[in-house]
Structure 1
Amino acid sequence: MQLSKEKLNSLPTGPGVYQFYDKAGRILYIGKAKNLRSRVKSYFQKTKDLIESRSEAIFQMVGLVRSIKTIETDSEIEAVFLEAQLINQIKPKYNSRQKDDRSFYVIEISKEEVPRVELRRARNIDLKNKKFYYFGPYPSGEILKRALRILRKIFPYANCSTSKYHKAQKLCKSCLYGDIGLCIAPCEKADGLLNCKKQVGYLKDFLSGKKQKIIRSLKLEMTKLSKEKKFEDATIIRDKLFALEHLNRYSIGLKDSFDDMRAGSIFARIEAYDISNIGGDFAVGAMTVIELGRIEKDEYRKFKIRSVFGSNDIAMMQEVIHRRFTNNWPRPNLIVIDGGATHLKAVNSVLSELKISIAAISIAKGPDRDKNEFHYSSPEVGKYFQKNSKLTNFAIVARDEAHRFSQNYYRKLHRKSLRK
């Protein structure tokens, strides 16, 4: 559907969340933006441009859109948390990856004596564990880290284990975080533990979209402290209020359009593979990952070659691919191989044997190591790359990162052998 220019141009230009509705009034998709008008308009391009720049699923979704609703927020930070909150509540069809992908991040807040705030991968925890509060999931760990760094300045909290807290309490000495104002330092203040829990309570309210509740509470506290002539404490509350009411000063890196995410929307998870060895000695394989346009180093994997002896890179690559796909790791949307057409054919044979259908490409550097010769598992896959330079560049970055990672692993094993 092509919405009228008047409708699109009337959308707000500030940060917030947008919702796409179908003709039955169901929400199809929820997204966040630094500039709502720019982000929403990026979906309603000419049909040809939309097909080339987005995934098939996005193209289909846009065809179902009949109306749009936007919710403005005071800051980018609030847009991040509101989007996650609404997706969890409504569970729109085209947000299925954020609902289900266990590689996404959650904020974990413990119910211990000293509450701890941690960033976790959803797949590494039990979200039903009653010992914790969970918020999320959130697709971008980097944006989430930036947001939490800002919020911790407003709501400082202790983030140490119970045993570390008791040890510091005996010494009556705070750690570095207490010295720089990121921790209430309950270990050296009589009312510190109670205040720490209060700050974490404010943080939980903020993550739940209850900023106005926090502001009302802080204003009442500031008034009370002023009446009691505790002006220094009242000033601290005043500064918190100012920071909360001016969160729009902070930019955490939301994008205004999908220009930098086009490759991510077509192939959300890209895995790249390379082999390193000299004459078959210390042979290793490496897997690197790019998700939604971002390098995800904690998803990388290393493989010591077990079944191939002598110099046979193709057989080694087959072993790595076979071992990777017999593990229960998140499936990629695209496989990138450092090698030529023969390497790609060998990889496709393993995938076929395992009855797995995934788009794959190989990129060869050529005899002089100065080219990027692309080979595709099918003509359809090739079409995605022919008119999309950003996707091509993503693939090359993925290939180069796999080469770097495998080389480093090979050198590490080689150096280790020399020390024996």
Structure 2
Amino acid sequence: MAKEILNKPGVYKFLDKNKKVLYVGKAVNLKQRVSSYFNGSLEDRPWVAKMIPFVRNIETIVTENELEALVLESALIKKYKPKYNSDLKDDKSYSWIHISTNEEFPKLKVVRNKDINSIKRGKLFGPYPSGSSVKRVFTYLRKIYPFCTCTKAKKECLYFHLGLCPGPYQGHISREDYRKNIDGIIKFLTGKRTSFIKKLDNEMKEYSLNKQYEKAAELRDKIADLKYLGSNIQGEFFEDEKSYELRKKSLHEKVFSDLRKELNIPQLVRIECYDISNIQGQDAYGSMVVSENGEIENSEYRIFKIKGSNTPNDPAMLREVLQRRFANEKMTKYPDVVLIDGGKTQLSVVAATIPKEICLLGISKGKSLKRKGFRPKDEFWIYKNGNAERMYIHNEKLLINLRDEAHRFAITYHKKARIKRGLRSQLLKVEGIGDDRAKKLILRFKNIEGIKESNIEEIDKVIKNRKVSEAVHRSLNT
């Protein structure tokens, strides 16, 4: 039943024969999570054994990340009121985020359903079935928008020294600036992140024009952190799965449309991203991953084994990959944008291999963030008029995700090649094993464990020499 489910984050629904929703859950990996209900992993949960006999169908909704899955799960539970969600958790166990907006310096806290009746003022967001997930949201938000959780105190608290509390009661932040932090959190939780980022972007430019560079840099980092944190989170504001899917499709189209305008190109349908993986030039592979209209196209992925260099020269390897790609008559679909993992040097080396009508971009690691827990800023480069120039890209998340996917794809093949090379080297030490026999053994048994677990007869079916087969078996099992 779980065969067609993807290894991606999202929400799943168990339905009975009448298509009534029995249970709604979220997962970081949908396939693994759904499979766990049927392979005995959840035997310690009696409600699972009661529910499974009634399950006739499973529906899933893929989301961008775990946070989006969390808030969509909350919306669907409120909509369907599934029997087994109710049986599993009474209302008291659900969590809410409370912001005491009535205070001079509003505080945030996680509250249980049983406690919300005692809250008379402020804003509530939820309910969320997973308290641990809500706490993770708390942690992320606090890094971007530090807020206070303690009562009035003369001395700075521990969170102040960790950079997570701005110290409002000790005079380290004005009431106005503190309120801006709270406003940012509210905008984030109500799905208005994009408009808020735009507002911050305008403020950053204003600070820069007024030569207040420190404040401009602070806002720049905050904007980048918000983008990194995830897609538009819409808590309780998803109406149903259909509205979610429509919003998702619309978002993809808008991202592509906005990126096309930023790059100033006539059309944007297809992006190809390239990366190289090797260790000191050994087992070098180049990867090509593809996005069309905002969707990843796995069937279009390609891998290139590097032929022309045994030295660690990523720019030259990228040039070889792109030369082979555009010389391949079977690869007739041309991209509107080529994105490579690299900066000014890499762009200058590969530029001549790219047809002139294609926009060439590079992405490289920038300086690290001061705040712990966030990745270094990425820098973007564009090649035009014979030069590589640094550029700011507002819709960067799509390109960063593509770069990360190209890296994952390349490194997967590199690791496989490295393992095979290590196995080949070990086999060649056995008398009577040459390149041909080593290749055949690797092809048949895949890895060292496969050969070790095989008996002499199985090995001899490949080698066809009893004495050498015994030597292989002895060598790997002593």
Coarse TM-score class (shorter-chain normalised): 0.3 to 0.5
